[in-house]
Amino acid sequence: MKVGVVGAGLVGATAAYAMTLRGSCAEIVLSDLDLRRAEAEAQDIAHASPVSHGTRVSAGPLEELAGSRVVIVAAGANQQPGESRLDLLQKNAGIFRELIPQVAASAPGAVLLIATNPVDVLTGLSTRLAPEQPVMGSGTVLDSARFRHLVAQHAGVDATHVHGYVLGEHGDSEVIAWSTATVAGLPVADFMAARGLDWTPEIRAAIESGTRDAAAAIIGGKRATYYGIGAALARITERVLGDRRAVLTVSAPTPQFGVSLSLPRVVGAGGVLATVMPRLTPDEETALEASAAVLREAAGQLEGA
Ligand SMILES: NC(=O)C1=CN([C@@H]2O[C@H](COP(=O)(O)OP(=O)(O)OC[C@H]3O[C@@H](n4cnc5c(N)ncnc54)[C@H](O)[C@@H]3O)[C@@H](O)[C@H]2O)C=CC1
Ligand SMILES: CC(=O)C(=O)O
């Protein structure tokens, strides 16, 4: 099972490293405009292979993506401190208009997994640029992981026993859907009460801002985020390769909202197999519609540009 990674920068290389350590696939090919960088990253990651799962890791031009089952796209500019993801739109859309048709031609049939920001708008653009190809974006898989991590920290449990979804934009308007959140199968407030833990509006607000503002905080401290997204991309890729039918908040075009955004979706071979619309509170529904409106406006800026 072969996976392509286009854009061998911090995100693409970290995703390849995560897949190598996890044994997600048999072969990884890295491609980048800067082929020397891709070759150096591939060589460095390949040195982890004999002491992990023996994954074959190489670098090459886009043509070498042929035969990939999934191609992760992480090519393009990242945020500078103070920039929003949407500020990257015109620059990265310009890159995608040239790149995505070439990726699709090189790896027909592969699921395109978009990571480049603003990921929702670029996922929508990619579905138009590669109409024959299954396309999804990493969306709020990372944000949902950040949310689960923070709830788990407060609850004092392993984060794999915390569930809950962040919906809408992977960005400032994202919706932290508390109504979907559980710890050990209990609504969060019930779990905290059962364990005698404080559960105040201030604690909830801190978890919300810690989730929404995580990227800005990390970029402020070390200029980029890559470990969380690298692991998330490996996980999504494995779910496609293994046809695992995992429920993940990936981004995909959503007719109900007229734009690509994140909702819980069943992910397996071929990408998104179904969407599961959660039962939200009225406030969450309003926030989700507002997030969709932000994305529709951003997507509208691409038309004719
Ligand atoms: N979806 C998510 O949750 C996350 C998304 N990101 C996004 O991922 C993207 C990449 O970020 P980093 O890896 O930190 O940036 P980076 O600057 O380290 O790497 C970007 C790479 O893209 C390459 N590139 C540019 N144009 C290309 C083209 N036409 N063809 C092939 N390669 C090309 C560059 O040569 C560079 O190696 C950014 O847009 C960033 O905002 C970052 C973190 C999380
Ligand atoms: C940069 C980015 O999108 C993130 O870390 O969430």
190-247 per-position pLDDT tens digit? 999 999 999 999 999 999 999 999 999 999 999 999 999 999 999 999 999 999 999 9
- Contact 142 CB / ligand 2 (< 6 Å): yes
Average pLDDT, integer, range 259-269: 98
Give the amino acid at 76: G
Q: What percent of the chain has pLDDT over 90?
A: 98
The whole-angstrom separation of Cα 266 and Cα 249 is: 9
Average pLDDT along the chain: 97
**Same topology for domains 2-137 and 140-304, yes or no?**
no
Give the amino acid at 196: G
How far apart, in Å, are the Cα atoms of 115 and each of 74, 151, 199, 278? Answer: 5, 25, 34, 24
- Contact 140 CB / ligand 2 (< 6 Å): no
How far apart, in Å, are the Cα atoms of 301 and each of 73, 96, 209, 237? Answer: 22, 15, 28, 30
**Strand order in 271-275's β-sheet?**
246-248, 265-268, 271-275
Q: Please, are residues 64 and 30 in contact by the beta-carbon 8 Å criterion?
A: no
Q: ipTM value, please give it.
A: 0.99
Name all residues whose Cβ lies below 6 A of ligand 1. 6-12, 32-34, 37, 74-79, 88, 92, 95, 99, 115-117, 119, 138, 142, 170, 224-226, 229
CA of 215 to the centre of ligand 2 (A): 5
Average pLDDT, integer, range 32-41: 98
The confidence score (pLDDT) of residue 204 equals 98
Annotated binding site for NAD(+), which residues?
A: 7-12, 32, 92
The whole-angstrom separation of Cα 298 and Cα 189 is: 36
Q: Is 163 part of the annotated catalytic residue set?
A: no
106-125 per-position pLDDT tens digit? 999 999 999 999 999 999 99
Residue of minimum CA distance from atom 4 in ligand 2: 215
Residue 304 clears pLDDT 60, i.e. is over it: no
Average pLDDT, integer, range 82-99: 96
- Contact 74 CB / ligand 2 (< 6 Å): no
Residue of minimum CA distance from atom 6 in ligand 2: 215
- Contact 138 CB / ligand 2 (< 6 Å): no
Which CATH class, in words, describes the domain spanning 2-137? alpha beta
Q: What percent of the chain has pLDDT over 70?
A: 99
Residue 303 clears pLDDT 90, i.e. is over it: no
Tell me, which fold does domain 140-304 have in CATH? L-2-Hydroxyisocaproate Dehydrogenase; Chain A, domain 2 (3.90.110)
Annotated binding site, which residues?
A: 7-12, 32, 92
Average pLDDT, integer, range 133-162: 98
Q: Which atom of ligand 2 is nearest to the CA of 228?
A: 5
At 28, is the secondary structure helix, strand, or coil? strand
Ligand nearest to the Cα of 71, by number: 1
Total-model pTM: 0.98
Residue 305 clears pLDDT 90, i.e. is over it: no
CA of 46 to the centre of ligand 1 (A): 21
Average pLDDT, integer, range 26-45: 98
At 178, is the secondary structure helix, strand, or coil? strand
Q: Where are the beta strands (DSSP E) in 96-173?
A: 111-114, 135-137, 162-167
The whole-angstrom separation of Cα 160 and Cα 247 is: 14
Q: Where are the beta strands (DSSP E) in 7-99?
A: 27-31, 56-59, 70-73
The whole-angstrom separation of Cα 154 and Cα 199 is: 9
Domain ranges of the chain: 2-137, 140-304
Average pLDDT, integer, range 249-261: 98
The confidence score (pLDDT) of residue 50 equals 98
Sort 288 into a burial class: Cβ within 10 Å, 0-12 / 13-18 / 19+.
buried
